[in-house]
């Protein structure tokens, strides 16, 4: 693992596939121009709209999203995480799929979100992700990279389930991805503290691209795409506008924190 720059991109995605991919391309270009070698896109980067619209366009969204990620990775010669897009499963539902693609355009890892956001938020909004999304059945993967470190995948609501991240750290993860479309209401109280907790308890970097702003109807997201170091220090925060949080991933920092606070070695209950 070498020292390198990672980017957590922040978008305001809409119910418009073409516009979203154009916005994503501009942000990827921005991040690469600043030296990023690992670029991450948030959940719903290619489409964020009504569930019925998503289902109606799911096949086209899936094909365009995968092609886009592979094309961008090859064009810019970087590793890219597409943090979540619908992939049809043939029963009227989709998987919420995160895809990691290498600089040659090859698929490195794929994860189907296991924890679905079925929640009555106190602001009056109700979310029922399971109405259109089928929960994944497999634990998220860790992709080993000699240059970028061991990369662990997750998606949004997963961040509330620490056992998933303990699994990733047990599998050797050094960098945890948390691409999200966190609601504005829950985000203001929980987003940063959850990211810091996952970083601290697993002594890992956390790279968390995010959605921000108003998308359609009442849907509003929190923003604040972040990169957090293994001590829980917020290295970069994209605020509440589209853009990028960019920070260095330093193997020496990871080694230092794990040496000084070897809690992963001290676990009693496994």
Average pLDDT value for residue range 249-255: 98
Catalytic residue of the set 37, 43, 66, 112? 43
Least confident of 73-87, 101-115, 116-130, 255-269: 116-130
Average pLDDT for 117-145:
92
pLDDT tens digits for range 41-54: 999 999 999 888 99
For the four alpha carbons of 166, 131, 221 and 242, in that order, the dihedral sign comes to positive
CATH superfamily of 4-265: Carbon-nitrogen hydrolase (3.60.110.10)
Helix (H, G, I), strand (E, B) or coil at 107: strand
Q: Output the CA torsion 114→120→121→122 (10° steps).
A: -150
- Is residue 2 part of the annotated active site? The answer reads no
pLDDT of residue 216: 86
The whole-number average pLDDT for the span 210-238 is: 95
8 A C-beta contact, residue 180 and residue 211? yes
Beta bridge partners of 205: 175
CB 227 within 8 A of CB 245: yes
Contact 209, 225 (CB under 8 A): yes
Among the listed residues 37, 66, 70, 113, the single catalytic one is: 113
Structure tokens at 176: 């945890």
**Active site annotation includes 43:** yes
Structure confidence at residue 126 (pLDDT):
85
Percent with pLDDT over 70 in the chain = 100
Give dist(CA 23, CA 223) in Å, integer: 16
pLDDT at position 182: 96
Largest distance between two CA atoms of the chain:
52
Give the active site residue among 37, 66, 156, 174. 156
Q: pLDDT value at position 254? A: 98
Domain boundaries defined on the chain: 4-265
- Residue 156 is among the residues annotated as catalytic for this protein: yes
Mean pLDDT of 229-241: 98
Straight-line distance from the first to the last Cα atom of the chain, in angstroms, rounded to the nearest whole number: 27
Q: Is the pTM of this model over 0.85?
A: yes
């Amino acid at each position: 693992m070498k020292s390198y720059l990672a980017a957590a991109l922040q978008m305001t995605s809409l119910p418009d596939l073409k516009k979203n991919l154009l916005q994503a391309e501009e942000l990827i270009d921005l991040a690469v121009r600043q030296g990023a070698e690992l670029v991450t896109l948030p959940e719903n980067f290619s489409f964020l709209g009504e569930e019925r619209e998503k289902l109606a366009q799911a096949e086209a969204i899936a094909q365009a999203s995968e092609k886009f990620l592979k094309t961008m990775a090859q064009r810019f010669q970087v590793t890219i995480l597409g943090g979540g897009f619908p992939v049809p499963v043939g029963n009227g539902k989709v998987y919420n799929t995160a895809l990691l693609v290498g600089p040659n355009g090859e698929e490195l890892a794929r994860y189907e979100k296991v924890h679905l956001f079925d929640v009555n938020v106190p602001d009056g909004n109700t979310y029922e992700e399971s109405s259109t999304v089928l929960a994944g059945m497999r634990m998220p993967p860790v992709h080993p990279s000699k240059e970028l470190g061991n990369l662990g995948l997750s998606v949004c609501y997963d961040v509330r389930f620490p056992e998933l991240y303990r699994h990733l750290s047990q599998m050797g993860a050094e960098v945890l991805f948390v691409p999200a479309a966190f609601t504005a209401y829950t985000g203001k109280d929980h987003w940063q503290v959850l990211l810091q907790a996952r970083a601290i308890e697993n002594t890992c970097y956390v790279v968390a691209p995010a959605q921000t702003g108003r998308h359609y109807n009442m849907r509003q997201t929190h923003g604040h795409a972040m990169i957090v170091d293994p001590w829980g220090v917020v290295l970069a925060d994209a605020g509440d506008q589209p853009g990028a949080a960019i920070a260095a991933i330093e193997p020496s920092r990871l080694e230092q924190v794990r040496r000084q606070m070897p809690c992963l070695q001290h676990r009693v209950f496994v």
